[in-house]
Structure 1
Amino acid sequence: MAGGEEKAVEKAGDADVDMAEGPDLGKSDSDLDDGGNGEKEDMEDSDKDDSEDDDSEDEAKEAAEEAERKALIGEVKGRIASNPYDYQAHVQLIALLRRSSMLEELRAAREAMNALYPLSPAMWQQWAHDETSLIASDADVAKVEALYQRGVEEYVSPSLWQAYLSFLTAHHPAITTRTPEGLKLFRGTAEQALTQAGLHLGEGASVWGTYRGLEMEVLINVRKGEEEGKGGLGEEERTKQATRVRALFHRQLAVPHLQLPATLAAYLAWEEKEGGEKLPADPPPPSSAASPSSPDAQKLPGSVKAAYLKAEKMGGEGGAGGGSGGGAVATFDKSDELMLAYTEYLALEAASGDMPRQQAMHERMVTALPVVFDVWLKYIDLVDHKLKVPSVVRSVYFRAARNCPWVGSLWTRYLLALERLGAADADMAEVFEKALVSGVQSADEYFDIFLTRLDGLRRHLLPPESSKGALKGASLSEDERSKLKDTLRATFERASAFMASYFPDHQQALLQLAGYQAHIEAHLAGAAGATGMVGEGGAAGRGVWEQFVKKH
Structure 2
Amino acid sequence: MAASSSAEQTQLQDMEEEDAGMEEREMESDGDGEEEGMGVENSDDEEDESSEDEKENEAEIQRLEEQLSINAFDYNCHVDLIKLLKQEGELLRLRKARQKMSELFPLTEEIWLDWLKDEIRLTEEEPNREKVYELFERAKKDYICPDIWLEYAQYSIGGMGSPGGIDKVRSIFERAVTAVGLHMTKGQTVWEAYREFENAILSTVQPPPGRIPSREEQELLNTQLERIHTLFRRQLAIPLMDMEATYAEYEEWSEQGVSEMVKHQYKKALQQMEKCKPFEESLLAAEPPKLAEYQTYIDFELKEGDPARVQITFERTLGENCLVPDMWAKYTTYLDRQLKIKDMVLSTHERAVRNCPWTMGLWKSYVLALERHGADHQTVSDVFEKALNAGFIQATDYVEIWQAYLDYLRRRVDFSKESSKELEELRGAFSRSLDYMKQDVEERFGESGDPSCIIMQIWARIEALHCKNMQKARELWDIIMTKGNAKYANMWLEYYNLERSYGDPVHCRKALHRAVQCTSDYPEHVCEVLLTFERVEGSLEDWDLAVQKTETRLNRVNEQRAKVAVKEANMARQEDDRADHRRKAKSDKKSQKKVQKGTRAGEKRRAEQDDYHNEWNEDSEQAPKRHRGNGDQATEEYMETETGLFGRNAPPGYKPAPPGTKKAQQGVADPAQRQNDDKPELRNDKSSVFISNLAYTLEEPDAKLRTLFETCGPIKQIRPVFSNKGNFKGYGYVQFESPVCVPEALKLDRREVEGRPMFVSPCVDKNKNPDFKVFKYETAMEKQKIFISGLPFSCTKEQLEELCKSHGTIKEVRLVTYRSGKPKGLAYVEFADEAQASQAVLKMDGIDVEGNKISVAISNPPRRNMMDRPGSSRFTSDLMPRQTYGSRGRGRTQLSLLPRSLHRHSAPAGKVENGTAAEQAAATASAPANAAGETKPLSNSDFARMLLSK
Distance in 1 of aligned mates of 2:297 and 2:273: 11
Q: Is the 8 A contact 1:225 1:232 kept in 2?
A: no
- Partner AA of 1:310 in structure 2: K
Distance 1:353 1:233, change over 3 A: same
- Partner AA of 1:450 in structure 2: W
CA drift at 1:203: 0.5
CA drift at 1:243: 0.7
From 167, 174, 196, the counterpart of 1:213: 196
Q: Is the 8 A contact 2:457 2:477 kept in 1?
A: no
Q: Is the 8 A contact 1:376 1:400 kept in 2?
A: yes
Structure 2 residue matching 1:405: 3-state secondary structure: coil
2:344 is aligned to 392
1:401 is aligned to 353
CA drift at 1:163: 0.5
Distance 1:183 1:477, change over 3 A: farther
CA drift at 1:235: 1.8
Confirm or deny that 1:329 pairs with 2:329. Answer: no
Q: Deviations over 1:450-469 (max 9, x none)?
A: 222223223333xxxxxxxx
Trace 1:8-157 onto structure 2 (pairs within 5 A). Answer: 9-10=39-40, 55-136=43-124, 140-157=128-145
Distance 1:330 1:544, change over 3 A: same
Confirm or deny that 1:454 pairs with 2:406. Answer: yes
- Bigger radius of gyration, 1 or 2? 2
CA drift at 1:69: 1.3
Confirm or deny that 1:167 pairs with 2:125. Answer: no
Distance in 1 of aligned mates of 2:63 and 2:264: 61
1:315 is aligned to 273
Confirm or deny that 1:303 pairs with 2:237. Answer: no
CA drift at 1:158: 0.8
- Partner AA of 1:80 in structure 2: L
Distance 1:476 1:384, change over 3 A: farther
1:362 is aligned to 314
- After TM superposition, the score normalised by the length of structure 2 is 0.45
Confirm or deny that 1:188 pairs with 2:188. Answer: no
1:22 is aligned to none
Distance 1:492 1:265, change over 3 A: same
Distance in 2 of aligned mates of 1:243 and 1:4: 49
2:369 is aligned to 417
Distance in 1 of aligned mates of 2:77 and 2:415: 46
Distance in 1 of aligned mates of 2:449 and 2:217: 82
Distance in 2 of aligned mates of 1:9 and 1:231: 60
2:563 is aligned to none
1:469 is aligned to none
Distance in 1 of aligned mates of 2:477 and 2:327: 47
CA drift at 1:147: 0.6
Paired-residue identity, %: 30
Gaps of 5+ in 2: 1-31, 485-950
CA drift at 1:533: 5.1
Q: Is the 8 A contact 2:302 2:310 kept in 1?
A: yes
- Partner AA of 1:314 in structure 2: Q
From 219, 222, 235, the counterpart of 1:236: 219
**More helix by percentage:** 1
CA drift at 1:193: 0.9
Structure 1 residue matching 2:241: 3-state secondary structure: coil
Q: Is the 8 A contact 2:342 2:373 kept in 1?
A: yes
From 421, 437, 460, the counterpart of 1:495: 437
Q: Deviations over 1:17-66 (max 9, x none)?
A: xxxxxxxxxxxxxxxxxxxxxxxxxxxxxxxxxx6xx6122112211221
Distance in 1 of aligned mates of 2:440 and 2:452: 10
- After TM superposition, the score normalised by the length of structure 1 is 0.75
Distance 1:507 1:355, change over 3 A: closer
Q: Is the 8 A contact 1:222 1:232 kept in 2?
A: no
Q: Deviations over 1:461-485 (max 9, x none)?
A: 3xxxxxxxxxx66589833433443
Q: Is the 8 A contact 1:225 1:231 kept in 2?
A: no
From 176, 182, 190, the counterpart of 2:161: 176
Deviates most, 396-405 or 486-495: 486-495
Deviates most, 158-167 or 419-428: 419-428
Structure 2 residue matching 1:505: 3-state secondary structure: coil
CA drift at 1:315: 1.6
Q: Deviations over 1:74-98 (max 9, x none)?
A: 2222332222212121111111111
CA drift at 1:491: 3.5
Distance 1:514 1:258, change over 3 A: same
2:298 is aligned to 346
Distance 1:304 1:229, change over 3 A: closer
- Partner AA of 1:102 in structure 2: E
Confirm or deny that 1:197 pairs with 2:151. Answer: no
Q: Is the 8 A contact 1:521 1:540 kept in 2?
A: no
Structure 2 residue matching 1:160: 3-state secondary structure: helix
Distance in 2 of aligned mates of 1:231 and 1:493: 79
Q: Is the 8 A contact 2:396 2:449 kept in 1?
A: no
Q: Is the 8 A contact 1:156 1:364 kept in 2?
A: yes
- Partner AA of 2:44 in structure 1: S
CA drift at 1:264: 1.6
2:741 is aligned to none
Q: Is the 8 A contact 1:212 1:248 kept in 2?
A: yes
- Partner AA of 1:301 in structure 2: S
Q: Is the 8 A contact 2:106 2:142 kept in 1?
A: yes
Distance in 1 of aligned mates of 2:460 and 2:483: 10
RMSD: 2.9
- Partner AA of 1:313 in structure 2: Q
Distance 1:523 1:352, change over 3 A: closer
Structure 2 residue matching 1:218: 3-state secondary structure: helix
CA drift at 1:330: 3.3
Distance 1:476 1:137, change over 3 A: farther
Distance 1:432 1:508, change over 3 A: closer
Structure 2 residue matching 1:333: 3-state secondary structure: coil
From 431, 438, 442, the counterpart of 2:394: 442
Structure 1 residue matching 2:170: 3-state secondary structure: helix
Structure 1 residue matching 2:122: 3-state secondary structure: coil
Distance in 1 of aligned mates of 2:418 and 2:124: 53
Distance in 2 of aligned mates of 1:97 and 1:520: 57
Structure 2 residue matching 1:149: 3-state secondary structure: helix
Distance 1:77 1:451, change over 3 A: same
Count matched residues. Answer: 453
Distance 1:232 1:103, change over 3 A: farther
Q: Is the 8 A contact 1:522 1:538 kept in 2?
A: yes
